[in-house]
Amino acid sequence: MKNIIEITNEINDKIVAHRRQIHSNPELSFKEFETCKYICKVLDELKITYKIICDTGIVATIGNINSKENNCIAFRADIDALPIIEDTGLSYCSRDVGIMHGCGHDMHAAMLLGAAEILKANEEKLNGVVKLIFQPAEEALPGGAKLMIENGVLENPKPKMIFAQHCDPNIEVGKFSTADGAIMAATCEIYWTIKGKGTHAAQPHQGNDPIAVAANIISFAQSFINRYRNPLEPAVLSICSINAGTANNIFPNEAKMSGTLRTFNENTRNKLLELLVDKCKKIANLYDTECDIEIVYGYPPVINNSEAFEIVKTSTVKLFGEENFSVCEPKMAAEDFAYFANEIPACFYFIGVKNATADINYPLHSAKFNPNENALSIGTALIVAIAEKILQP
């Protein structure tokens, strides 16, 4: 191919248009019907073969699907939005109040569509097949990745590697980062229900106060992580909501809390959860109350494959220079790309979308999140470069 950066710059306006169309029409997890239609329309115009999986997911193929070598790689872009009221003031902001692309999935989809156009135009130069996976429901359990895998997205042909990129507003535009090994955490949701006996505030001895139990569990949780895990293994336990009581002079019958546990090791996660349940019940027993705990298991950790990591690294350095690639620390956020990484060698990496001034640069999941669109052609170029590196004749 001729200079990849030149090619992506030539179609940059199209990539930006894709992003703005998807951004202004956001849809929640498992409801991405119009987004799916738009992506299919673009693929039809490019004469790219595809099929719909799981109602709103799409898998497209470019290259020789009947290749005897079965030389196939895959790229994934998530397409769902978040239940956020957008507050960016953009001319192309969300048309649906209460729904917003606040995590960059519109950027991810647009870059993959841009790469699709370039790869299709150079299809005869590909020694194998590129699978483009437009995945629904990254933001909601059980995760669109899991469902698409169960419905055969990685079959016929099966990719030997898969890649995905994610916007990072903390990184300058033009820069990329990732890690060899653990990159995103395993997660679970924890829900406590503490059952006591309500009574008058002036007569606490006639009841059992669930608020005192909740307070003790919260206090205990702060030391729990430091005392029941290997200090060399990262883990975070956060209790983020507590609800109890209706008046200033009544002890309630019940208190509810919710939180999350994050680790990079599923065995560590399971061990900590077992201990946490046991200790919380014992704390409740001290106050003659009961503590029910519901655990909703989230995504497993994302573990990057060493070979796939090296391909991202060398492709980035070759295209943009060594100064624009860095090895980052793993993040405690979760990603259902983990399910893909559990099936085949994978690399999940971050693309810089930082805006030049702080007053318009906001974090992921913010109502003011406004990624720098200058990153679109850059991210598209790297997708194409990775495909060219692996599938060059």
Task: Give strand pairing partners of 261.
Answer: 188, 237
Q: How far lies 279's CA from each of 218, 259, 294, 343, in Å?
A: 12, 16, 14, 35
Separation in Å, CA 192 to CA 53, 196, 200, 214: 36, 13, 24, 9
Please say whether the beta carbons of 30 and 56 come within 8 A. yes
Nearest to 5 by CA among 393, 379, 391: 379
Give 308's strand partners: none
- Total residue length of the chain: 393
CA distances from 146 to 34, 79, 215 (A): 22, 15, 37
Residue 4 DSSP one-character state: H
Q: Which residues are catalytic?
A: 299, 373
Cα–Cα–Cα angle for 83, 36, 80, nearest 5°? 25
Please tell me the distance from the alpha carbon of residue 192 to that of residue 280, in angstroms, as a whole number.
9
SS3 sequence of 235-292: EEEEEEEEEECCCCCEECCEEEEEEEEEECCHHHHHHHHHHHHHHHHHHHHHCCCEEE
Q: Are strands 254-263 and 186-195 parallel, antiparallel or unpaired?
A: antiparallel
